[in-house]
Copies of this chain bind each other. A is one copy, B any other.
């Protein structure tokens, strides 16, 4: 089959979206569509323009014999702002408040379209950095970690608070929870993270940051480091937070469990 431009553009869009941060050679596309490299180059110019305009991402062309094209997920601030405003409204529903100042977020975390959009925003923020894996702690951070990892094209590493037989041998650490000052354990399968990895830490909710500090300690055990910390919701009611470098999509303040009152605002995503 000989491909027309219109047909190539459809398939190339799908292909690029499914291969973020992979280097794709012009030869690959040229052979896939039986088209001259000059035609493929012209296709890429059109793709680049629309990807940029619509906040789909950026296409970077690497010249030379070993070159090609790379697609990076990159959102546009003005296109995601309304999404964050809607999310704030959704989170502000007063019956989400649970004892201890926690929030019911299962419906939000269970919504793949919301997770996708937040994952896109996180990936966008770190698209230019070398990242080897996304790490989170079971259970509620998993969908978000997975969504982010998909757009960064790296594996997800899941830290647990209980040992499971199906993980093989594990490395464990103790950590102090920030809010209640209890000592807890978290563990990670030995096989699941390579030494020296650069890791993006993702979680759904951060209060004092004890859990995230725990993950950072665990990274030390693997001689790994963190490239960044990204949370969906941060709760502002904290005097000494254990973590200070992070991005958040949504920020809670004035949490009053008794009065069932809560203030919800944009997090620091757009300012950091």
Q: Which residues of A contact B (CB under 8 A)?
A: 5-7, 9-11, 13-14, 17-18, 46-47, 49-51, 54, 56, 98-100, 102-107, 110-113, 115-116, 138-140, 142-143, 146-147, 149-150, 153-158, 160, 162, 164-168, 189, 191-192, 205
Q: Given A112-B150, A165-B100 in contact, is the A54-B106 Cβ separation under 8 Å?
A: no
User: Which A-B residue pairs are the 9 nearest by beta carbons?
Assistant: A112-B150, A13-B13, A10-B50, A110-B156, A138-B139, A142-B142, A110-B155, A102-B166, A112-B149
Q: Given A17-B17, A139-B160 in contact, is the A7-B166 Cβ separation under 8 Å?
A: no
| Copies of this polypeptide in the complex | 2
Q: Does B160 lie within 8 Å of A143, measured CB to CB?
A: no
The answer for the CA separation of A47 and B192 in the assembled complex, in Å, is: 40
The answer for the CA separation of A205 and B10 in the assembled complex, in Å, is: 36
The answer for the CA separation of A162 and B164 in the assembled complex, in Å, is: 14
Q: Does B56 lie within 8 Å of A110, measured CB to CB?
A: no
Q: Does B146 lie within 8 Å of A46, measured CB to CB?
A: no
25 contacts between A and B (CB under 8 A): A6-B6, A6-B46, A7-B46, A9-B10, A10-B13, A10-B47, A10-B50, A10-B51, A13-B14, A14-B17, A14-B54, A98-B165, A98-B168, A100-B165, A102-B166, A104-B167, A104-B191, A106-B166, A106-B167, A106-B192, A107-B155, A110-B155, A110-B192, A112-B154, A139-B164
Interface SS, A side: helix
The answer for the CA separation of A147 and B116 in the assembled complex, in Å, is: 10
Q: Given A110-B157, A110-B192, A158-B110 in contact, is the A10-B143 Cβ separation under 8 Å?
A: no
Out of B9, B110, B139, B205, which one reaches A9, CB within 8 Å?
B9
Q: Does A146 lie within 8 Å of B106, measured CB to CB?
A: no
Residue ID in chain B nearest A140 by CB atoms: B166
Contacts of A150 in B (CB 8 A): 112-113, 116
Q: Does A107 lie within 8 Å of B46, measured CB to CB?
A: no
Question: How far does the Cβ of A51 sit from chain B's closest Cβ, in whole Å?
Answer: 7
Contacts of A115 in B (CB 8 A): 146
The answer for the CA separation of A170 and B62 in the assembled complex, in Å, is: 53
- Given A107-B155, A116-B150: 7 more A-B contacts, CB < 8 Å: A6-B46, A7-B49, A13-B13, A102-B165, A107-B192, A112-B150, A142-B143
